[in-house]
Structure 1
C-alpha cells in the first residue's frame, strides 16, 4: 500500500500547495483553472476563473510546484542509485562533482550577462564534471566505488574553488545576489518550459533508473557477488553513473543546487520499506517530490513578502532529520 498512498499524498500536496500564498485560493478554483486549460471546462460545466486568479494558478504557482515535484523526485531517485552503486550511505546525486560543475557554468554565464544561457551552461558544467571525475577514476585503474568517490570529491573541490574565485574576483552588485540565489537553489523562476524539461528528464531517465532494482540489489552485496550473478559490473556501473549524471545535470540546470534531498530521503524510506530497491526507488521518488513541494511552499511563504532560496529550507529540515536517522540507526552501526 505504500506506493498508492504516496501517489495520493503527492497529488494532494500539489493541489493544496497551489492554494497557499499571499492571495488564498480554494482547491476548487485550482481544479477549475486546470480543467479550463485542458479543454474540459465546458464539458464539465465549470465557470472559468477571473484572469488574475487564473494567472496565479496557471502561470505562477502551478509551474513552480510541478517543477519542484520533478526536481525532488529526480534527486531522491538519484540518491538511491548513488548510495547503492558506491555502497556509501553518505553518497548523494552531487557526489561526482555535478553540482559544483553546474554552479561553475551558471556563474560564468551570469557573470557574462547572458542569463538565458544559464540552463545550458549549468548542464554543460555538470556533464564536464562527470567526464572529469570518471576520467580520473578510470585513469587510476578499474572504476571501483572508492575510486569513484575520491575522484568525485577531487573534481567537486576543484570546481568549488573556481566558483569561489570567480565570485570573489568579478561578481558585484545585483549579480552577486543572483549568483547566490542560484547557488542556494530555487525554483522561483520556473515556467512551463522548466516543467517540460524536468518532467521529461524524470519520466525518461528516472523511469529507466527505477527499473534497475534487481541490479542494485546485487550491487548491495559487492562487485564480486554481482559478477557471480551474471551482471557485467563495470559496464552497468558506467551506464548507471551516466544516467544519474544526466538526470541530475538536467534538474540542477533548472533549480540550482538543492541539497539533502538525495541524501536523507533514501534513508528515511528505508526505515519504512527496507532495502529492496524495487519498492525503494519509486517510493523515494514520490516522497522526494512531495518533500520538495512543501519545502518550497515554506520558502515562499514563511517570511512573506520576502522569499528564501529553497536550499536553505531543505538544509534546515534535512540536517536534524539526518541526525535523527543516525541516532535511530546507532544500534546497527
Structure 2
C-alpha cells in the first residue's frame, strides 16, 4: 500500500521586536489553519518562530534576555497554537528559545519541538551546530548565538509521527552533512528544519549572489545522499533592520525542489510527499543496509586506531 505524508511549510515574514507573543501566535495559528485547509498532516515553522532573531544584539541583562525565551511549552501565550493543532488535527514542529531550569541551573537552548495532531508533545531537539560568537566583531554580521545558547544535549533523535519517522534540525544544522547522516542512520524518512538566515554577510560581500544557492544546496544534497524528504521553513523579510533570506522549500529524496515559496511574507506551501520514493532512491545509490551499517563504521574506527 502506498505511503504518503502531506507536509506544509509555514514561512513567516519578519517578527519585529515590538511584536507581542499574542500577536505572533495569532499569525502562527492562521498559518496552521491555512495548512490544514490544504489537507496537510504536519507543518513546520521557522527557528525562533515566536520572537525576533535576538542574537543580532548584545545584551547583558538576564531579564531582558529571558524575555525572548519560553520556560514551559506550551505556556500561557502559546497554548492556543497547541489547541488549534488538536482542533484542526494537524501536528507541527516549532522552533523557539528554551529556558530549562530542570537541573537547578538555568540553561538556554535553541530548540524545536514536534507536536502531534492531537496537540500533544512528541519529542524535542536542541540545536547542535551553534554558529557565531559571543561578542560582536567589526566588519562581521553580528550573530551571537554562542552568547545566548548552549550546545544541544539531546543528539539527533528521530521520532514516530503517525507511522512516519521524523527528524528535526535548526538553521546552521542544515549546512552540515553530519545532521542528515545521523538522522538517516536513525531511520528518518522526513527531516523538518526551521531557520533564520541573513540575506547578506558583511564579511563576505563577494558571495552575496550565492546566498540562496548556498541555502538550498546542502539541504538538497542532504536529502539526496540520505534519501529523505526535507521540509524547511524560514523567517523572511526585513526584521528589525536585518534582511532575512526566506527561500522556504520542500525537497524530495531525489534532491529536487518539490515546492518553494514565492514571497518574503507569511506563506504556506504544501506537498504530498511520496514516502515510497525513498525506497526507490535507496535502490539506485544509497542502500543503507548494505553501505551504512553502524557495525561497519565501528570496525573502520577500530582499525584506524587513535588519532
Q: Given the two structures, how large is their TM-score scaled by the length of structure 1?
A: 0.27
Higher relative contact order (CA 8 A, sep 6+): 1
Structure number having the greater strand percentage: 2
Which protein shows a greater Rg? 1
Structure number having the greater helix percentage: 1
Q: Given the two structures, how large is their TM-score scaled by the length of structure 2?
A: 0.28
